[in-house]
Amino acid sequence: MSPKDVLAFAKAEGAKQVDVRFTDIPGLQHHITYPITQLNEDSFEDGFGIDGSSIRGWAAINESDMLLIPDASTAYMDPFYETPTLVMTGTILDPITKQKYDRDPRNIARKAELHLLATGLADTCYFGAEAEFFIFDNVAFESTPHSAFYEIDAEEGRWNEGRRENNLGYRPRYKEGYFPVPPTDHYQDLRAKMVEVLEKAGLSIECHHHEVATGGQCEIDQKFDTLLRSADNMMTYKYIVRNVAYQYGKSVTFMPKPIYGDNGSGMHCHQSLWKNGSPLFAGEEYAGLSQMALWYIGGLLRHARALSAIIAPTTNSYKRLVPGYEAPVNLAFSRRNRSAACRIPMYSSSPKAKRVEFRPPDPSCNPYLGFAAMLMAGIDGVINKIDPGEPLDKDIYDLSPEELRSVPSMPGSLEEALQCLEEDHAFLLKGDVFTEELIETYISYKARHEADAVRLRPHPYEFSLYYDI
């Protein structure tokens, strides 16, 4: 929609307020709300003044004045607010220079798209991200200098099979929750409601289903879109899924590994390059790929260890990325094989369906930064003709120790991932998409506020291991 269309839409829907949203560096969405009378056509040029000093990873207090410019193409009516409210996603500008702010994740995603265009390789990058999540009935946690605990519960959790009262059975076994029908799948109706609200907000949904883990692990798949639009859609997806669940007295988490001993939640990212409306990843090479697609895979695999700090950006991410479990930690590519970091789906022979699925990302990542970083790695692979090596068409989890030694792997911790990013980020700086200052800020924030914060605290399980030592 154009700004004029948005104003007409707001009037037709009876909007009384406008909510403009933006995302911080770690990936949390923020918002500020204005009476609808404050929105006019000039607002889409002049924006709204905000204070950015308290936003994680942004400017110091002496440079905190920012402009928030709403994007008319993102408009929809909020499905949860009591007061009819128009919602738009915004981009942050520096009020002095009127330049887009280098630490605004949405601006970084847009710069990645422009960099791709400037290379002449392609004019469009499509992303289709599959973000898994858990639905819980109760969650409690606390961490103090002298105590720490967490406790989660889900009516569907297999751990409730021995409960005496109000126990009707039908719960997915650990690692056996993929595609069961109700009543074992407890959340069919809730997911259907989520889909209904997502579609009303403008997202195109392909399917939904129960996932592998017990305890309410689910997935709702969106149709692919351009990089920036897919990142916008992922933020809307998270917002709506959380709030629909909340309305039904439940809690959704996109935390990668909330349950020990069962599958974690990934965010497999399907991606492809197009030019002048034609797909560029279809060809006569392995699995029906083009040479460009193989080089793109080469870039993803070459820079995967550095990417991990952005696409698997939490200490909890490395509870999922563990050798021998469900997550693809070994850096190889293959057709159909889900144990490879890069998979080439073979559902369709259509050139338009030819794409690369990168499987290490998880839904705790900031989609603007994650999608942009993966595209930059792929572009680097194409420009430098990076050979991805030989495909690995066997189950990587069953490889012998000798065979595994020749296959590189993802980092084993957030600390290691941040070190990899520090050593290998030149590819992200091309086209001024990411800046050196942003990378330094990101590494410092993640190291101090997350990696060190967890590393320095006693773990509850250490008391089981060592209290009587």
424 labelled catalytic? no
Catalytic residue among 359, 362, 380, 425: 359
Nearest by Cα to 112 from 128, 100, 97, 98:
100
302 labelled catalytic? no
Looking up tokens 């189950």, which residue turns up?
Answer: 395
8 Å CB contact between 351 and 282:
yes
Catalytic residue among 24, 71, 185, 219: 219
- Bond preceding residue 361 cis, omega within 30 of 0: no
Q: Which residues are within 8 A (CB) of 370 and not within 5 positions of it... i.e. 6 or more apart?
A: 269, 310, 311, 361
Looking up tokens 């990696």, which residue turns up?
Answer: 451
Catalytic residue among 338, 416, 422, 424: 338
Catalytic residue among 104, 137, 156, 357: 357
Query: What is 262-322 written as a DSSP string?
Result: S----EEEEEEEEETTEESSBSSSGGGB-HHHHHHHHHHHHTHHHHHHHHS-STTHHHHS-
Rounded to whole angstroms, how far apart are CA atoms 52 and 63?
8
Catalytic residue among 132, 156, 262, 415: 132
405 labelled catalytic? no
Tell me the β-bridge partners of 100.
93
Rounded to whole angstroms, how far apart are CA atoms 140 and 315?
19
- Within 10 angstroms of residue 387's Cβ, the number of other Cβ atoms is 13
CA 361 to chain centroid, in Å, comes to 7
- Within 10 angstroms of residue 199's Cβ, the number of other Cβ atoms is 12
DSSP one-letter code for 364: T
51 labelled catalytic? yes
285 labelled catalytic? no
Whole-number Cα distances in Å, 15 to 8, 36, 41, 82, 200: 10, 7, 16, 11, 16
> Token pair for residue 80?
């949860």
338 labelled catalytic? yes
Catalytic residue among 211, 225, 262, 362: 211
CA 466 to chain centroid, in Å, comes to 37
219 labelled catalytic? yes
Catalytic residue among 103, 268, 302, 303: 268
Rounded to whole angstroms, how far apart are CA atoms 321 and 267?
12
Rounded to whole angstroms, how far apart are CA atoms 410 and 112?
24
Catalytic residue among 78, 130, 362, 415: 130
Active-site residues, by number, are 51, 130, 132, 211, 219, 268, 338, 357, 359
